[in-house]
Amino acid sequence: MENKTLLQMRGIDKHFGATHALKGIDLTLERGEVLGLIGENGAGKSTIIKILSGAYGMDAGEILIDGVPVNIGNPRASQALGISTIYQELTLFPDLNAVDNILAGREICRDGTGSSLISPLDRQRMRKEARQILTEELGIDIDLTVPVRQLSLAEKQLVEIARSLHSQAQIIIMDEPTEALESQERERLFAITDRMRLSGRAVIYVSHLLDELVKVCDKVMVMRDGANVATQPVSEVSVETIISKMIGRDLGQKYADKTPPSGEVILRANRLGVNGRFDDVSFELQKGEILGFAGLDGAGKQDVVRAIYGVVPFNMGDISVDGKSLTAGSISGAKAAGVGLMPADRKTEGLFLDKSLEWNITIAESTKSRSSSLRLSDLKASAGAYMRSMSIRARSVDQSVGDLSGGNQQKAMLARWLQTKPKVLVLEEPTRGVDIKSKAEIYRQVVDAAAAGTSFIVVSADSPELLGLCHRILVMHSGRVAAELDASTTDAETIAYYSVQTTGEHR
């Protein structure tokens, strides 16, 4: 009989220069088990995963698979050992279709070999194998003929999972797989982890969404500061105990108390539209108000804020800030009027990864300050203050942002935008990838900035976040505002209702 224990990590230690990222980690994974990995931003979750996937070496410790010590020197060795990692930044070939991606490196030729130099590819068999994994193993149906770049993020993720199954992976690792997914897509992923469990494989699942973790996992491992502080079956823990183990105390109040907005209108959108994207969107934003935009992906919420910021030119209606109209499609015009936008995709649009934390937080200020009297030491102090108030985990403000953990990068980006003190700040998915304690800190920063006069537009797929953080919520559906809700009197069900109200719509 096969060993029940599939993976053991013993005494794993890892340093990055002066950072002691992993301090003697022990981890055991059984066949048929889904293990949840939880911990604050910077606790060391991704580092464990990168060691397992062969991206990083370790300083000390040993890894056993099926009771046999193994050496995971590089990503290829990791795959050969049956470990497959689904990263957030997907590793598919965008121009190839799903079949070619799933069988990449394991193509089948007509003469039965894997070398297409000698014999042409047996496309029919390749398609059959890909389809078999997708339908029989994963229970899904996606278009196999189009380049995967045309698929949705969720579908791409599924292609990655199918690829790992085709490679006979036994250990599937997912680092924050649902952060960018919608609720139905999440459910589908949960169903897939169930199938993995039933087939005797094992899953390591990293997420900051604790409700989700207790639903999906059999066992949770809580990390704090590079150490494993608890490993327990989920049946024996509550979300509250997980939080207190994770942060060393109770969370306290998650959402800060809001100050009512001033009544003075700062931004006015009048019958705004972009051909083919959204139509007839009108609303007013008051000074000190936090306005939420809800709705499914593709409903238009992201297009509206991008039109306001000038990324997408609007061709109907108008927007004014402080009574002055904005020019369609002009980012510089929006900036000059005092509008800022923090994009959802921090890696490609937001941060300079090779630059320091200080540089990233204060860049916008320092370009302005060339003509003013702001001194570098002031910028450093300001960056340091944000680092403390938002618990950005870094050795100092001089550390490169690229060396920070995912959640800490997100916090650095938000600090930078708050630091610019715009009149209107648009935040897209402000707490994606952020741990629960840091979320509370971010909400406090936003509410404080609003009380001091900044107005916010928050776009988020997380309804509880909109309800807790915002004064008012606009729900978008099919490119139109379907409802305007007072956040203090509505609930997540109502938001969901207006998000999907019409039936029979194909998306």
Angle between helices 153-166 and 183-198 (to 10 degrees): 10
Q: Using CB under 5 A, which of 14, 27, 44, 46 touches Mg ion?
A: 46
Could you identify the residue written with the tokens 């060396």? Answer: 403
How many angstroms separate the CA atoms of 67 and 81, rounded? Answer: 13
Residue 404 in the binding site for ligand ATP (CB under 6 A): yes
Which residue's Cβ lies closest to Mg ion? 46
Region from 363-371, 375-383, 396-404, 405-413 binding Mg ion, contact rule CB under 5 A = 405-413
Looking only at the bridges linking them, the beta strands covering 202-206 and 34-39 are parallel
Region from 34-42, 62-70, 109-117, 499-507 binding ligand ATP, contact rule CB under 6 A = 34-42
CB 469 within 8 A of CB 478: no
Q: What minimum distance in Å lies between the beta carbon of 46 and Mg ion?
A: 3
506: three-class secondary structure by DSSP = coil
Q: Using CB under 6 A, which of 7, 29, 35, 42 touches ligand ATP?
A: 42
CB 500 within 8 A of CB 483: no
Q: Give the number of C-alpha atoms closer than 13 A to the C-alpha of residue 401, restricted to the C-beta side.
A: 27
Nearer to ligand ATP, 97 or 410 (CB): 410
Q: What minimum distance in Å lies between the beta carbon of 45 and ligand ATP?
A: 3
Site for ligand ATP in 90-119 (CB under 6 A): none
Specify the DSSP class assigned to residue 58. -
Looking only at the bridges linking them, the beta strands covering 290-294 and 472-477 are parallel
Report the partner that residue 41 touches, choosing among Mg ion, ligand ATP, none (CB closer than 5 to 8 A by kind): ligand ATP
Q: What minimum distance in Å lies between the beta carbon of 33 and Mg ion?
A: 21
Residue 407 in the binding site for ligand ATP (CB under 6 A): yes
Report the partner that residue 219 touches, choosing among ligand ATP, Mg ion, none (CB closer than 5 to 8 A by kind): none
Nearer to Mg ion, 179 or 365 (CB): 179
Q: What minimum distance in Å lies between the beta carbon of 209 and ligand ATP?
A: 12
Report the partner that residue 404 touches, choosing among Mg ion, ligand ATP, none (CB closer than 5 to 8 A by kind): ligand ATP
Element spanning 29, H or E: strand 19-30
Both tokens of residue 29?
């994974």
Site for ligand ATP in 419-478 (CB under 6 A): 435
How many angstroms separate the CA atoms of 453 and 81, rounded? Answer: 56
Specify the DSSP class assigned to residue 289. -
Q: What minimum distance in Å lies between the beta carbon of 189 and ligand ATP?
A: 19
Q: Give the number of C-alpha atoms closer than 13 A to the C-alpha of residue 473, restricted to the C-beta side.
A: 30
Region from 41-49, 332-340, 423-431, 497-505 binding ligand ATP, contact rule CB under 6 A = 41-49
Closest CA to 277 of 293, 301, 309: 301
* CA distances (Å), origin 245, targets 36, 113, 155, 214, 251: 14, 53, 35, 15, 10
Residue 16 in the binding site for ligand ATP (CB under 6 A): yes
Q: Using CB under 6 A, which of 78, 170, 405, 455 touches ligand ATP?
A: 405
Report the partner that residue 302 touches, choosing among Mg ion, ligand ATP, none (CB closer than 5 to 8 A by kind): none
Q: What minimum distance in Å lies between the beta carbon of 55 and ligand ATP?
A: 9
Residue 45 in the binding site for ligand ATP (CB under 6 A): yes
Q: What minimum distance in Å lies between the beta carbon of 410 and Mg ion?
A: 11
Q: How many residues does the chain have?
A: 507
Q: What minimum distance in Å lies between the beta carbon of 37 and ligand ATP?
A: 8
How many angstroms separate the CA atoms of 228 and 222, rounded? Answer: 6
305: three-class secondary structure by DSSP = helix
Region from 229-237, 249-257, 348-356, 402-410 binding ligand ATP, contact rule CB under 6 A = 402-410
Angle between helices 406-419 and 436-451 (to 10 degrees): 0
Nearer to ligand ATP, 97 or 408 (CB): 408
Nearer to ligand ATP, 61 or 298 (CB): 61
Give the Cβ contact number of residue 500 at 10 Å. Answer: 17
Q: Using CB under 5 A, which of 273, 406, 422, 430 touches Mg ion?
A: 406
Could you identify the residue written with the tokens 């949770």? Answer: 220
Residue 57 in the binding site for ligand ATP (CB under 6 A): no
Start-to-end CA span in the chain (Å): 47
Report the partner that residue 261 touches, choosing among ligand ATP, Mg ion, none (CB closer than 5 to 8 A by kind): none
Q: Which residues bind Mg ion (CB under 5 A)?
A: 46, 405-406
Q: Which residues bind ligand ATP (CB under 6 A)?
A: 16, 19, 21, 39, 41-47, 393, 403-408, 435
